[in-house]
Chain A
Amino acid sequence: SQKIEQNSEALNIQEGKTATLTCNYTNYSPAYLQWYRQDPGRGPVFLLLIRENEKEKRKERLKVTFDTTLKQSLFHITASQPADSATYLCALSLGGGFKTIFGAGTRLFVKA
C-alpha cells in the first residue's frame, strides 16, 4: 500500500540545536517533494521544494535532502529557535496533475 510516514512522536529540542525531521514513503514515485510549516488553526505555509533529480536544497537555516533510492527526505532546521515550534508537513507531488499527498506531520517544540 502507499504510505507517507513522518516522525510519529513530537520532537523536543533545545534552542540552538539542529532539528532533523524524517519523511519516508512507500509505493510512490514523486516528481517532487515539498515541506510545509503549519501552526495550530492555520493553513500550511510553503517552505521548500526539492525535485526528484536533486539531492539537496537549502534556504537560510533550512536544508532538505531527497534520496529516491531510500525513498526518504530529511528536513533540517539549524540554529533552531522557539519560534520554529510548529508542525512540519512532508508532501509528495505526483506526476501528471501533480496531485499532492501529505504526511501526518511532525510536531516540533524548541525550548529556550
Chain B
Amino acid sequence: GAVVSQHPSWVICKSGTSVKIECRSLDFQATTMFWYRQFPKQSLMLMATSNEGSKATYEQGVEKDKFLINHASLTLSTLTVTSAHPEDSSFYICSARGQGGNEQFFGPGTRLTVL
C-alpha cells in the first residue's frame, strides 16, 4: 500500500512554456501533499504544502505565481511550472500523507529540463 505516482517521469520543454506535473496517491486518500525540488547532490527543498480543497502554503522564496499548485481531490495534486526557464531545470518530487498519518510517501520524481 501507500503508493504515490508522478507523471510525467521526465519532460523536456522550451524556455517560456508551461509544464504540468501530476502527483497521485493510488491506494489512500492524501489529505496533505508536499512538493519538493532537488538539485544534483543536494537535499530535498520543500516548495509548498497543499491540503485538499485549500490554497497551498508556499515556502519563503518560492514564487506562488510561477509554481501553481492545485490539490482538487484527495488523490491528486498538480504542480504547474509557468514560463519555465533553464534555471527551473531540476528534479521535482511530490509526497503525500494520509489523514492521521505521520509518514510521508514519495512519488518517483519528475526530471524537468528546460532548454
Interface residues of A (CB under 8 A from B): 32, 34, 36, 41-46, 49, 89, 93, 97-105
Contacts and interface: CB of A to CB of B under 8 A. Distances in A.
Contacts of A102: 36, 43-46
Nearest to B107: A43
B81 interface: no
Contacts of A45: 106
Contacts of A103: 43
A46 B103 contact: yes
A43 B111 contact: no
Q: How large is the interface on B (under 10, 10 to 19, 20 to 34, 35 or more residues)?
A: 20 to 34
B97 interface: yes
Contacts of A43: 4, 6, 93, 95, 106-109
Interface in B10-53: 32, 34, 36, 42-46, 49
Interface in B26-84: 32, 34, 36, 42-46, 49, 57
A49 B4 CA distance: 19
Contacts of A97: 32, 49, 57
A41 B10 CA distance: 10
7 contacts: A41-B109, A44-B93, A44-B95, A49-B103, A97-B57, A98-B102, A99-B46
A105 B108 contact: no
A77 B50 CA distance: 34
Given A32-B102, A46-B104, A104 B109 contact: no
A32 B103 CA distance: 10
A27 to B, nearest CB: 16
Nearest to B40: A40
Given A43-B108, A99-B49, A100-B34, A34 B103 contact: yes
Chain A to chain B: the 9 pairs with minimum beta-carbon distance, closest first: A43-B106, A104-B43, A102-B44, A43-B109, A102-B43, A44-B106, A43-B108, A43-B93, A46-B103
